[in-house]
Amino acid sequence: MASSSFSVTNYASKSNITDFNFSNQQSKNLLLLNFKFSRNRRNLLVTKVASRNQQLQKLSDQSVEQETTDTLDNAILVPDSESVISSIKYHAEFTPLFSPEKFELPKAFYATAESVRDMLITNWNSTYKFHEKMNVKQAYYLSMEFLQGRALLNAIGNLELSGAYAEALRKLGHDLEDVARQEQDAALGNGGLGRLASCFLDSLATLNYPAWGYGLRYKYGLFKQLITKDGQEEAAESWLEMGNPWEIPRNDVSYPIKFYGEVATGPDGHKKWVGGENILAVAYDVPIPGYKTKTTINLRLWSTKVGPEYFDLKAFNSGDHAKAYEALKKAEKICYILYPGDESHEGKTLRLKQQYTLCSASLQDIISRFERRSGDTLNWDEFPEKVAVQMNDTHPTLCIPELLRILMDIKGLRWKEAWGITQRTVAYTNHTVLPEALEKWSLNLLQELLPRHVEIIRMIDNELIDTIIGEYGIEDLELLNEKLKQMRVLENVELPASILKLLLQPDEIAAVDSVEEDKEESEEVTEPTNEDDELKVKVEKDAEVSKRVSFDPDPKSQKMVRMANLCVVGGHAVNGVAEIHSEIVKNEVFNDFYKLWPEKFQNKTNGVTPRRWISFCNPELSKIITKWTGTEEWVLNTEKLVELRKFADNEELQLEWRKAKRINKEKIVWFLKEKTGYLVSPDAMFDVQVKRIHEYKRQLLNILGIVYRYKKMKELNADERKNKFVPRVCIFGGKAFATYVQAKRIVKFITDVGATVNNDPDIGDLLKVVFVPDYNVTVAEVLIPGSDLSEHISTAGMEASGTSNMKFAMNGCIQIGTLDGANVEIRQEVGEENFFLFGAEAHEISGLRKERAKGKFVPDPRFEEVKKYVRSGVFGPYNYNDLMGSLEGNEGYGRADYFLVGKDFPAYIECQEQVDKAYRDQMKWTKMSILNTAGSYKFSSDRTIHQYAHDIWMIEPLVLPN
């Protein structure tokens, strides 16, 4: 046999384990030996290397199949460090991605991850078998994003194996933290939408709920953000370049996906979608472990391809290589990029293909599982009793027509039955009030790409029209017309002929024609004799015309499909994600639907997992919380955090709290130095705003406040500056969408301000401005624990909820923000005195914009001063007229300060002065910090998932037997 995968020469000095040579049979048996099971969760079976041969011989005489079955059914993996070492060695040799000569950090990571994956697969298999056997109702969470972050530390933390793995790697010559840093973040998401989905999966597994997630396996993610002298630049993310050790390809699980083609009608009237372009969606599974439980659920990701028969060998051999693999590239590119640019027709088509692929493959898989579980007792009316489908925002909306298509065209159900099943199965989470985020798709594009689905959407629209007419009647046609325009799934599309006949009866048409004829005759006889008479006749004509309500579409506008309306109509539940957001959803965004179906609408305030966002990313604070609450139960039951309120004034606790914060701030110092080259002082206040770059999130307000602060500093001498200003490190992070020009201007502005301020010797450590490139979950895990102040300053009424505000509060970070999204509830829980509040409120926003349009807004002199300062060129030669111009004027696209930066600017800088004042009193600040952590108990994703499970999905926990 060949020598070991490890270099004994290189690592003999680092490890006391140097025997790496096994026979093939020994290696096979060792894999079983690596992870023995404990019958009582805590007793360890230690694999001693010295007695390995004797144990291997014993195992050879046993039935591997029987032992595996027994252990799956009755036990939980509890390996010690020695068996972990054996497993890591096994994977380094027999699951190699690297050459055998060395055992360096990248190889150590992959071998370690594959070692952990063995346990996850075992637990996943146990969970899967148990759920199949029990045939309980299961929830399926469909999302275009899952922002997972690094998985290694999270997995071994949930498995309670951090100590065993740390010791094992130490014996093998590596530090667990160094090994973990080799992992790249999975590029499957971008912002809060995807991170929420990942937190939910963690909680679903931890709480033992039967559930799966479904998403797409993006090859290049959104993009890797580079910060250059020109601002943000985008490059392809290479997260899959070395493979993903956590995923399990399921080559036997694939489903056909069709695009284009036409709808054929059989002799019996049955519809069938034929022709077109055909691809395959192939499953990749990612096990999601729960915390302190054997339950391991699944995230199934779809990748796209076509079979080898679509490779045109003849074209390839003739030299037309592009034609030869055209079909392959068309299929593969569907899963290349998250949110491809959609300004072109091709971009829109690709996005729609992505959404349909997610919906179709997932539903085919869900239905296949339902049929398999049902066996000979298949009853489609029971489908909603066994399946709950949750659409995370509008991206998976095509689930609704796709489920109907499968039920009717493939399973043979009638419309009424299929429609009832669909409505009872599907539910919708709304994440935005922004009009551009309430998806609309061109009817023509949908007709071209998914012709059968357009037919089904028209049927849904017809059902809705009947409901609206039944609710409002036909007596007041103006009111009815308004409701139809607001509520229909199809926008600017002609009404069905049968409905038009109902609304415009022949005798009414004749009556209108008669009035017109009489009027024409009258006008011929009696000509107006003066201007007053002429005006009177015109008014009468206009009044008569106004009585005739037109239901005709506007020929100048596009015909669209409103996906949010389709979600509301097609599902049984609609939820907002924060109390204020849910009220806006009911009273503004979907008010007409709320009046029609008030029982559909719910609130489910978002939450985040306390495992990743306190316990694992902030071990220093976690130890303190455990000590002062007297229990580790807070990791599962965050209500225990409330106990900290009793000790908020305790000087000993405050001292420990500040020490932990200092340790975390020092980590940030070195992180920023490595990532940006800027060296900052841990003695300064760390003021952080990290989230997607968008005008409504108002990073522009933040940086303009910093510019104002800098300008005032420059106007003072050194002693005055030190006395007046608290030292601050202002940290930004987040990606601007590649085609969002204004957001990219903001990134450029922030980096230019940083380049000027950070190199100003007069300012020194009093003010630093740092933009962290390529913000992701891993960066958040460094920044959040060490932050002092967190900025959540969106225009009120525009942030649905937010989840980063919850993570910051959990880690004792005090917030400055508006009454928007979850800020409202966070402020209620942590105490108004422990939250820095400013800005206009949601109910004022519309009126303020109307005042602006009328030219009534008078900008604060300080706001004019800071804009003038920016335009002076102090931050470099870049022309910021377009950026500053967006804050000026009273109307027009990209102008008129739609997000009210100028309106809230004076209140914001005055509030920042209060922040400085509070920070000077460190005892007061520490108390505020403790009370923020104590008040964050409500924002655990465990609590949120319980609410979804009980109120929407109607599922119960299912604990695996030991």
HSE value, Cβ hemisphere, 13 Å, CA-based, for 888: 10
DSSP labels for 696-728? GGTHHHHHHHHHHHHHHHHTS-HHHHHHH---E
Q: How far is CA 19 from CA 52, 55, 165, 679, in A?
A: 11, 16, 19, 45
Give the whole-angstrom CA distance, residue 584 versus residue 820: 11
CA 606/CA 945 separation, integer angstroms: 9
User: What distance in Å separates the CA atoms of residue 142 and residue 128, rounded to the nearest whole number?
Assistant: 19
768 alpha-carbon distance from chain centroid:
30
**What's the rounded Cα separation, in Å, for the pair 252 and 217?**
17
Comparing CA positions, the residue from 314, 617, 263, 573 lying closest to residue 448 is 263
3-state per-residue secondary structure call for 103-170: CCHHHHHHHHHHHHHHHHHHHHHHHHHHHHHHCCCEEEEECCCCCCCCCHHHHHHHCCCHHHHHHHHH
Specify whether the CB–CB gap between 783 and 672 falls below 8 A.
no
Q: Which two tokens stand for residue 286?
A: 């990612």
Show the 3-state SS of 178-242.
HHHCCCCCCCCCCCHHHHHHHHHHHHHHHCCCCEEEEEECCCCCCCEEEEECCEEEEECCCCCCC
Among residues 683, 704, 708, 686, which one has the least CA distance to residue 695?
A: 704
- Note if 807 is an active site residue: yes
Tokens for 721, please give them: 């500056």
Catalytic residue among 691, 748, 852, 943: 691
Strand duo 560-562 + 440-442: pairing: antiparallel
| Token representation of residue 482 | 């308004």
DSSP, collapsed to helix, strand or coil, labels residue 262 as: strand
Instruction: Based on the residue annotation, tell me whether 431 is a catalytic residue of this protein.
Output: yes
What distance in Å separates the CA atoms of residue 296 and residue 130, rounded to the nearest whole number? 11
- Catalytic pick among 803, 818, 926, 933: 803
- Select which of 386, 483, 697, 938 is catalytic: 697
697 is catalytic: yes
Compute the distance between CA of residue 36 and CA of residue 184 in angstroms, rounded to an integer.
30
Tell me the CA distances in angstroms from 947 to 209, 570, 602, 936, 944, one per residue in order. Answer: 12, 21, 10, 17, 5
Give phi and psi for 801, each to the nearest 5.
Answer: -145, -65
- CA–CA dist 788, 668 (Å, integer): 12
**Intra-chain end-to-end CA distance of the chain, in Å:** 40
3-state class percentages of the chain: helix first, strand second, coil last, to nearest 5: 55, 15, 30
Q: Which residues contact 309 (CB under 8 A, 6 or more apart)?
A: none
Q: Which of 694, 807, 849, 927 is catalytic?
A: 807
**From the candidates 431, 744, 745, 768, which is the catalytic residue?**
431
Q: In the block, which residue shows the tokens 């597994």?
A: 205
* Cβ contact 253:87 at 8 Å: no
Per the DSSP assignment, residues forming a β-bridge with 212 are 140, 298
292 phi, psi to nearest 5 deg:
55, 40
**Continuous segment of H or E residues that includes residue 620:** helix 619-629
Q: Determine the Cα–Cα distance for residues 181 and 195; give it in Å rounded to an integer.
A: 20
Cα(519)–Cα(516) distance, integer angstroms: 5
Q: Which stretches of 796-954 are assigned E, i.e. beta strand?
A: 814-817, 836-837
Task: Say which of 150, 224, 488, 692 is annotated catalytic.
Answer: 692
Tell me how far apart the alpha carbons of residues 681 and 133 are, in angstroms, rounded to a whole number: 58
> Given the DSSP bridges, would you call strands 767-772 and 728-733 parallel, antiparallel or unpaired?
parallel
Q: For this structure, is 48 an active site residue?
A: no
Q: Respond yes or no: is residue 692 known to be catalytic.
A: yes
329 is catalytic: no
Catalytic residue annotation: 431, 691-692, 697, 803, 807
